[in-house]
Structure 1
Amino acid sequence: MSLRFARRAGCACVLLALAGCGGAVRVDPPAPEPSAAAACRTLAGRLPRVLDGAERTESTPASPYVAVWGGGEITLRCGVPRPVNMNATDQVPVINDVAWFQDPGRPLLYTSVARAAHVEVTVSREHVPENVLADLAAPITAALPQTG
């Protein structure tokens, strides 16, 4: 490969990366049940602007049930269904009064359980999941009452 071709390819990669910067991140919003939808809208108003050092960014399509930080490094979807892989006997860790199920098949995906709405959080390897989940605990406990 010639040096000139390598430079052009490198420039093209940089331009593509920059084109993605600052744009809205595509996240499919859930379709929560009406009672969960109301709780999720309350949660949306309580979410932090910065999460584990990542700034809040726009998502597309716009939805009160989705929040994104760090250009997609952290995503939150409120009002998702109960995790299909979760069994009644599963032990789930509790972080600051919020129980989190971690799907063994998707290690970067956490779902809050035993609340008025399930909240799904995806955390990239650039962040510490425990920090993210701990930072989300206060808004979740304030907005989403516990259920049996």
Structure 2
Amino acid sequence: MNSFRHRRTSTLGLPALVLLITAAGCSSADGSATAAVPSPGAKTAKLCRNLDKVLPAEVDGESREDPSPESALTAGWGDAAIILRCGVVRPPKMLDPKVAEGRDPDAVPGGVNGVRWLMEKRDDGGYRFTSALRRAYVEVTVEEGRDSSSVLIDLAPAVKKAIPKGIAD
């Protein structure tokens, strides 16, 4: 009876150990963030690749740490504190008359250093900014508590250089 009990414990313990090792191997212990990669058309993708080449190495004091999967359409700084995605679809709020009239407290249009942005408050307390009146939509998410104006000031020169003014497709 003792050997049966020992085998049963070992058999039950092995799957739990495998599950624990697998979960540890899949965790983001290395600190890398993830970001969904947009799938824009060829013209927009080219603009986004140009943007990737001129993005700063540091934003708001954070070093560049790109999220996974690797893509020229995404960038990150400060282990997901700041995530940029280029070639996203136009946010529905950009066409909402309440936003344009300033009657939506969760979405506000504005501009920083020559780049127009739609600011949306996220459920987690952070913000999502999407560029407006440019040939590609650039989305920047900023975690709660971070000075988003510094983030946009640091990113504006690259956006102005790589993404021409106009209306995105």
Of 51, 60, 74 in structure 2, the residue corresponding to residue 66 of structure 1 is: 74
Normalised to the residue count of structure 2, the TM-score between the two structures is: 0.71
Q: Output the CA distance in 2 between the equivalents of 1:104 and 1:71.
A: 20
**What does 1:1-148 correspond to in 2, within 5 Å?**
20=28, 22-87=30-95, 89=97, 90-91=99-100, 92-104=109-121, 108-148=127-167
Contact 1:86 1:103 in 2 (8 A): no
Normalised to the residue count of structure 1, the TM-score between the two structures is: 0.80
| Cα distance, 1:104–1:52 mapped onto 2, change above 3 Å | closer
Q: Output the CA distance in 2 between the equivalents of 1:133 and 1:36.
A: 21
Deviations 1:60-111 (A, max 9, x none): 1111000010000000000000111222644421111100001256661010
- Number of residue pairs matched? 131
Q: Output the CA distance in 1 between the equivalents of 2:93 and 2:160.
A: 24
Q: Output the CA distance in 2 between the equivalents of 1:115 and 1:42.
A: 14
Contact 1:74 1:122 in 2 (8 A): yes
Instruction: Give the structure, 1 or 2, with the largest relative contact order (CA under 8 Å, sep 6 or more).
Output: 1
Q: Which structure has the larger Rg over C-alpha atoms?
A: 2
Higher helix proportion (structure 1 or 2)? 2
Runs (5+) with no aligned partner, structure 2: 1-23, 101-108
Identity %: 34
Contact 1:22 1:71 in 2 (8 A): no
Q: Output the CA distance in 2 between the equivalents of 1:111 and 1:31.
A: 16
Q: Output the CA distance in 2 between the equivalents of 1:83 and 1:127.
A: 22
**Could you tell me how far 1:127 is from its partner in structure 2?**
1.8
